[in-house]
Amino acid sequence: MVGNRDSKENKIFVIFLVLAVIVGGLMLLWGQYNSAQQVFEIGFLSYRVDEQLANDEDYIFSEEDAAKYNEMLSLAGEWKAGVTGVEKKCNSDTVASVFGEFAESEISYTVYDNGSDTTVFLLHGYNETVDDAAIFAPYWWEKGYNIIIPSLERPKGDDASLVTFGVYEQYDIYDIITAENLKDSKIVLHGRGTGAAAALLIGSRADYDCGIDLIVSDSVYATLNGLKIEQLKAQFGLGEFLTGTLLSNTINTQLGFDISTIEITKAASAREVPKFFVCGGADTFIDKNETYAVYTAANGEKALLTVDEAANRMAYTASWFGEGEYIVKLDEFVNEHLN
Q: What DSSP assignment string belongs to 30-75?
A: HHHHHHHHHHHHHHTB-SSHHHHHTT-TTTSPPHHHHHHHHHHHHH
Per-residue pLDDT at 215 exceeds 60:
yes
Element spanning 277, H or E: strand 275-280
How many other CB atoms are found less than 10 A from the CB of residue 180? 17
> What's the DSSP call for residue 108?
E
pLDDT in tens, 282-337: 999 889 999 999 999 999 999 999 999 999 999 999 999 999 999 999 999 999 99
pLDDT at 259 over 50: yes
From CA 318, how far away is CA 310, in angstroms rounded? 6
Is the domain spanning 61-223+262-337 CATH 3.40.50.1820? The answer is: yes
Q: Are strands 186-192 and 212-218 parallel, antiparallel or unpaired?
A: parallel
State pLDDT tens for residues 47-81: 445 566 666 777 889 999 999 999 999 999 999 99
- Residue 99's nearest CA partner among 49, 158, 162, 40 is 162
**SS3 of 217, please?**
strand
- pLDDT reading at 20 higher than 60: no
Please say if the pLDDT value at position 45 is more than 50. Answer: yes
pLDDT above 70 (res 32): no
CA distance 257 to 251: 7
Residue 18 above 60 pLDDT? no
More confident residue, 99 or 272: 272
How far apart are alpha carbons 136 and 76 in whole angstroms? 8
Q: What is the pLDDT of residues 176-188, one digit of tens each?
A: 999 999 988 999 9
Q: What pLDDT was estimated at residue 8? A: 47
Choice among 20-34, 78-92, 147-161, 270-284 with the minimum mean pLDDT: 20-34
146-150 sheet: strands from edge to edge: 85-91, 106-112, 146-150, 118-123, 186-192, 212-218, 275-280, 302-307
pLDDT tens per residue, range 238-256: 455 444 555 666 666 667 7
Query: Where in the chain are the domains?
Result: 61-223+262-337
Least confident segment among 11-15, 104-108, 161-165: 11-15
pLDDT computed for residue 158 by the predictor: 63
Give every CB contact of residue 138 below 8 A, 6+ residues apart in sequence. Answer: 75, 76, 79
> What is the chain's mean pLDDT, rounded?
82
Residues 6+ apart with CB under 8 A from 336: 301
